[in-house]
Amino acid sequence: MTDRRDSSHPEVEAALERYLTEQRITRRDLLERISVLGAAVALAPIVAACSSVGASATPSLAPPPTAPASTAPSATAAPTPTPAPTPIPSPEAELIVYNWLDYIGEDVIPSFEEKYPVKVKYELFEDIEVAYAKLGKDGSGYDISFPTSVDIPRFREAGTILKLEQSLLPNIVNLGAEWANPGYDPGNAYSVPYMWWTTGIAYDTTKIKETLTSSKALWDPKYKGHISIMDDYQESMGLALKQLGFSVNSTDPAQLDAAINLLKQGKSLLRTRSNDTIGTMAGGDVWIGMIWGSDLWQIQAAVKNENHVYYIPEEGSVRGSDTAVIYSGSKHPVAAHLFLNHLLDAHVSASNTNLIGYMGPNEAAKQYIDKSILDDPAVNPTKAILDKLEELLDMPNAVDEEYLSRWQSYTAGG
């Protein structure tokens, strides 16, 4: 018999032999592999438990059915039934807040970081329209920001902001009664009010000796070249509408025409139109101008004297507010809710007011606010004056066009 091994392909034979001997499992190998597998099986439940603690926070915060599709929370697909009375879920490690310059109390973030294991990244802006552009459709990475109340309805419609989980905001009871159901956000479902202010007129008493009470003072030829109004068409046309006895939210074209004609009559007396109310008044070029009430003390601080006085025109004026919201793209919704709750705390709200100089909507905070602020009629007007203030409402496109086209014909005309 011939040898079975075919010697015409010795390399193949050699390779085959090598392969078979190397792949053979020895008893030692087998024991090693079993022990490794066993360890993995034993540790797996522990590893799974650790990672699910982080994940379990998000399923319980799955947005209620009415909210528009948001990204992070709804991504955890497993339909974990929302556990009934949940202890507050542990917050995420980070929170990103985008706020106005100089618009938060000094100890607000440190006290928050002490209370919860959350690191707060705090970024600033100066122009709200630029901020809106940066925040985009879902926050673009930011968790919390502070839009003006007028803009809440359109953000709500667009699904840009998250519907708030009220169970995580126990401090909401601190709000004053007039803030429980604001016109721009019924029931505070999508926002919490942050700071509010009035719009009025300030003047330099060293340059203007009379005591002024009416908005007609902005049309007085005695002050020609030293008058300013706001570069905000809703506010400035609102002032004119109020002077004529109409509502600041008027949609009647005839009333708007009358208001813009009133403004045109005063145009040649104006020095400037500006939203930098503090810089304009403190500069000295303007003796009388429209300002937001809470800017007064900053003007006084800038000029280092108390020559400026503020009054709300007897014809009536506007009340506005800023709100705090969570964006629908937020990756840290729990921490965000805890932060909003923190802002609603009486001490924290008072700390904000004491630094910024605006009144908050927080009734419980009033006992901790500086007396000088509480007594200041520019910042904290009496009930009689409060009743004469209207809240500015958001304008649908058609109405906005009515206002802006008239405003631009007014600003453009020589």
Segment near another protein (CB under 8 A); pick from 44-52, 214-222, 268-276, 338-346? 268-276
Q: Parallel, antiparallel, or unpaired for β 119-125 and 288-292?
A: unpaired
Coil, strand or helix: which one is 231?
A: coil
Among 7, 66, 382, 397, binds another protein (CB under 8 A): 397
Q: Is 158 among the residues that bind another protein (CB under 8 A)?
A: yes
Tokens 């139109």 belong to which residue?
273
Asked whether 352 and 108 are in contact (CB, 8 A), the reply is yes
Window contacting another protein (CB under 8 A); options: 188-196, 241-249, 380-388, 405-413: 405-413
Nearer residue to another protein within complex by CB, 280 or 341 = 280
Q: Which stretch binds another protein (CB under 8 A): 39-47, 139-147, 179-187, 263-271?
A: 263-271
Among 9, 18, 154, 222, interactor with another protein by CB under 8 A: 154
Closest distance to another protein from the beta carbon of 152 (Å): 13
Residue 376 is classified by DSSP as: -
- Residue 167 found at the interface with another protein (CB under 8 A): no
Output the smallest distance, CB 405 to another protein, in A.
8
Rounded Cα–Cα distance for residues 372 and 240 (Å)? 32
Burial class (CB in 10 A: 0-12, 13-18, 19+), 283: middle
Question: SS3 for 398?
Answer: helix
Which has the closest alpha carbon to 333: 155, 115, 65, 144? 144
| Nearer to another protein among residue 114 and residue 129 (C-beta) | 129
Distance CA 170, CA 386 (A): 28
Torsion over CA: 227, 229, 231, 233 (sign): negative
By CB under 8 A, residue 332 contacts another protein: no
Residue 283 within binding range of another protein, rule CB under 8 A: yes
Q: Round to whole Å and give the CA distance between 38 and 34.
A: 6
Report the sign of the C-alpha dihedral through residues 401, 407, 411, 414, in that order: positive
Binding residue count for another protein, defined by CB under 8 A: 32
Does position 404 interact with another protein (CB under 8 A)? The reply is yes
Binder of another protein out of 38, 83, 187, 396 (CB under 8 A): 396
What is the binding site for another protein (CB under 8 A)? Answer: 129-130, 133, 154, 157-158, 225, 228-229, 232-233, 267-268, 270-273, 283-285, 396-397, 400-401, 404-405, 408-409, 411-414
